[in-house]
Structure 1
Amino acid sequence: MMNSTKSPVCNLPTGTRLVGKWHQKPYKIVKQLGSGATGTVYLADSAHGDIALKIGVNNMAITSEVNVLKHFSKVQGQILGPSLLDVDDYSTNEGTFPFYAMEYLKGEELLPFIRKRGDEWLGIFIVQLLGDLDRLHRAGWAFGDLKPDNLLVVGPPSRIRWMDVGGTTLLGRSIKEYTEFYDRGYWNLGTRKAEPSYDLFAVAMIMINCYYPKRFNKNEDKPHFQLKKAIEAKPALLPYRQVLMNAILGKYVDAQLMRKDVVELISNKKTYTHKPQRKTRKTHKETKKQKGKGSYIFDFFLVSSFLLLAYILYLFGQMM
């Protein structure tokens, strides 16, 4: 197998024009979006506008990804990843290289989105992600290389879509592509066998990554204690502590169980914390004013909670 990083198609310059060998569809390279073990993804211009074009060096790897994208479009009517648009070969003086064209997803990366819009979005997106993973697992696949780089927030309404399916692996086989921070094998907390619990470990690490954007390396003899300390050091992660540790230690056998626990946490989460104040003598006017202010704050949080719950229910309806 040729190393994709040394392939002549891994660094196509802007403006390169290519035409599919079989379908004769023309594409023009705009820029490179990313490169991995199975190939390089470009933003390209086509007859239908912007598309994402992935060129590989191994026919079997590209065929596997194409099959995954086809499966995505059939999983209970949900479009989990980009829509597949074309599959063909690109002939050059150096050889013929397989490629496929897919929908170009426009959106915002997961971590910046949550930092800008608030912690409450983390639970919403994790519930949606776990629902999508459950459908994928029931179809016989594990995502494998699950990480924020492979997730994009699109909308409205805001929801997560999957970008790169290069690591997707049939259940029971060895994970073919992974990133250390999200890989339970790196943390000595399980094998690299493709199974639901492998992806659920990665979900927990994505949640941790939201509050440790620079990530961190394994540096203890007992990595699960290191991860437990990292969770307990971030107030926003404390409500999810037990769920995260269950996923890290492989206690969830499927995504639906983890999803159920996250939904329950979101439903029971307090919207505000009451802080006792020192007793002071107040005039009738001040007391009335404070009551009005307190009532306004209560109403604000009540409405916010209602809207948040309504949005979660809306997402559930979209995923059913």
Structure 2
Amino acid sequence: MAAPDLPGFTPGTVVTGASQGGQYTIQSLIGRGANGNVYLVRTASGQQAALKAGPEKPELKEEVEVLAELRKRELESGIQRSFLLDADRFKADGRAVPFYVMKFVRGVPIDAYIRKYGYRQIAAAGLGLLERLSGLHRAGFIFGDLKPCHVLVEESGSVELVDYGGASRIGSGVKQYSGWYDRKYWNAGTRTADPGYDLFAFAVLCLHVFDEQGLRRLDAALLPQTRGAEDLVQLAGRIPALQPFEPWLRRALRGGFGSSREAYAQWKALGRAYPAAGHGSRRARKASRMLTAAFCASLLLLGAVVYAALSL
């Protein structure tokens, strides 16, 4: 269910925070969700950002709390990046509308990124995702609703989690989840929020990205009460492109990691043996194409010379 239209949030409107005084010019609506609408905005300094606003609901407040805690932990660790930029209220038509402003991620979902740049990109993209999850876990939360559309990868290869509506405090119940990515759906554990829940979801995300049809066939062949982690483990073992990471996937699906940092370390170690594809290799691919073209041209020239010589 989408959030209702909000007063004053139309293109060209300048949204001014009642407490902090931040000013954001609405450019366009880029998404709707149950907890609020997301708008592309321009900040007072001219930068683009994403602004999420919605009705007065506990869920939106909890999203802000998660992001604020994550920002605090990042600053304490000396990390100068932050997804959350501002949080305030906007007064319009006699009511106050809560909103928060976040970094605008110029990226694509992880599955589209891998289709574009090649399957070997899972090594670097997966490591970036695990780094984000580890930071969230250290802040005391899990992401919860992990799936491809919530994992964006920028052109540079940087990975960001978006839509923190499903973030849940560790030890509480998981607030939001989606079918295949839900550990309980596969009878592989509970919906109690712990780091293993996110790691399980990431393992299923890998299966989804690399063999969606296989995952669909597996799901269709099983009854709800007969689904199990071992079915997913066997599927992982049948996907050639994922073989370097099969030990990691097996362990995550079985709940074998003690922490997300441990999961990060093993993925990084396995990734060293995974040949890089050179996504930064748009330039390399272009150079390769130029070399190929030059080689073909030289062959044509040689053929012409030989033909001319034989014709004399």
Q: TM-score, normalised by structure 2?
A: 0.74
Are 2:12 and 1:7 aligned? no
Residues 180-191 of structure 1 mapped to structure 2, 5 A cutoff: 180-191=179-190
For 2:28, which of 31, 42, 54 is the aligned residue?
31
Q: What is residue 52 of structure 1 aligned with on the other side?
A: 50
- After TM superposition, the structure 1 stretch with the greater mean CA deviation from structure 2, 73-82 or 233-242, is 73-82
Residues 188-203 of structure 1 mapped to structure 2, 5 A cutoff: 188-203=187-202
Shift of 1:12: 5.4
3-state SS, counterpart of residue 256 of structure 1:
helix
Q: What is the CA–CA distance in structure 2 between the aligned matches of 1:231 and 1:249, rounded to whole Å?
A: 12
Q: Which amino acid aligns with 1:200?
A: L
Shift of 1:231: 2.1
Instruction: Provide Cα deviations, 1:263-301, integer angstroms capped at 9, x if missing partner.
Output: 332334579xxxxxxxxxxxxxxxxxxxxxxxxxxxxxx
Are 2:222 and 1:218 aligned? no
Q: What is the CA–CA distance in structure 1 between the aligned matches of 2:38 and 2:195, rounded to whole Å?
A: 27
3-state SS, counterpart of residue 184 of structure 2:
coil
Q: Is the 8 A contact 1:72 1:80 kept in 2?
A: no
Shift of 1:236: 0.5
Q: Which amino acid aligns with 2:78?
A: G
3-state SS, counterpart of residue 228 of structure 1:
helix
Shift of 1:199: 0.8
Shift of 1:47: 1.9
Shift of 1:112: 1.8
**Change over 3 Å in CA distance of 1:232–1:197 after alignment to 2:** same
Shift of 1:178: 2.0
Q: What is the CA–CA distance in structure 1 between the aligned matches of 2:244 and 2:93, rounded to whole Å?
A: 58
Give aligned-pair identity as a percent: 31
Q: What is the CA–CA distance in structure 1 between the aligned matches of 2:17 and 2:69, rounded to whole Å?
A: 23
Where is the helix percentage greater, Structure 1 or Structure 2?
Answer: 2
Q: Is the 8 A contact 1:81 1:161 kept in 2?
A: no
Q: Is the 8 A contact 1:89 1:99 kept in 2?
A: yes
Q: Which amino acid aligns with 1:60?
A: P
Q: Which amino acid aligns with 2:24?
A: Y
Q: What is the CA–CA distance in structure 1 between the aligned matches of 2:99 and 2:193, rounded to whole Å?
A: 25
Shift of 1:228: 3.2
Shift of 1:54: 0.5
3-state SS, counterpart of residue 5 of structure 2:
coil
For 2:39, which of 36, 42, 45 is the aligned residue?
42
- After TM superposition, the structure 1 stretch with the greater mean CA deviation from structure 2, 5-14 or 187-196, is 5-14
Q: TM-score, normalised by structure 1?
A: 0.72
Residues 136-147 of structure 1 mapped to structure 2, 5 A cutoff: 136-147=136-147
Instruction: Provide Cα deviations, 1:196-238, integer angstroms capped at 9, x if missing partner.
Output: 1011011101211221457638331234344234323421123
* RMSD of aligned residue pairs (Cα, Å): 2.9
Instruction: Provide Cα deviations, 1:122-165, integer angstroms capped at 9, x if missing partner.
Output: 12222232233223222212111222212222353x22122222
3-state SS, counterpart of residue 210 of structure 1:
helix
Q: Is the 8 A contact 2:25 2:41 kept in 1?
A: yes
Q: Is the 8 A contact 2:153 2:160 kept in 1?
A: yes
Structure 1: runs of 5 or more not aligned: 272-320
Shift of 1:50: 1.7
Q: What is the CA–CA distance in structure 2 between the aligned matches of 1:125 and 1:199, rounded to whole Å?
A: 16
Q: Is the 8 A contact 1:41 1:54 kept in 2?
A: yes
Q: Is the 8 A contact 2:3 2:34 kept in 1?
A: no
- After TM superposition, the structure 1 stretch with the greater mean CA deviation from structure 2, 201-210 or 214-223, is 214-223
Q: Is the 8 A contact 1:81 1:163 kept in 2?
A: no
Shift of 1:66: 2.0
3-state SS, counterpart of residue 121 of structure 2:
helix
Instruction: Provide Cα deviations, 1:153-205, integer angstroms capped at 9, x if missing partner.
Output: 2353x221222222222110111122222111222221111111011011101
Are 2:129 and 1:149 aligned? no
Residues 31-180 of structure 1 mapped to structure 2, 5 A cutoff: 31-48=28-45, 49-73=47-71, 74-75=73-74, 76-78=77-79, 82=83, 84-93=84-93, 95-154=95-154, 156=156, 158-180=157-179
Instruction: Provide Cα deviations, 1:43-84, integer angstroms capped at 9, x if missing partner.
Output: 1233233210101223533332223222333332336752x2
Q: What is residue 261 of structure 1 aligned with on the other side?
A: 266
Q: What is the CA–CA distance in structure 2 between the aligned matches of 1:243 and 1:23, rounded to whole Å?
A: 45
Q: Is the 8 A contact 1:72 1:79 kept in 2?
A: no
**Change over 3 Å in CA distance of 1:237–1:209 after alignment to 2:** same
Q: Is the 8 A contact 1:142 1:169 kept in 2?
A: yes
Report the number of matched residues.
266
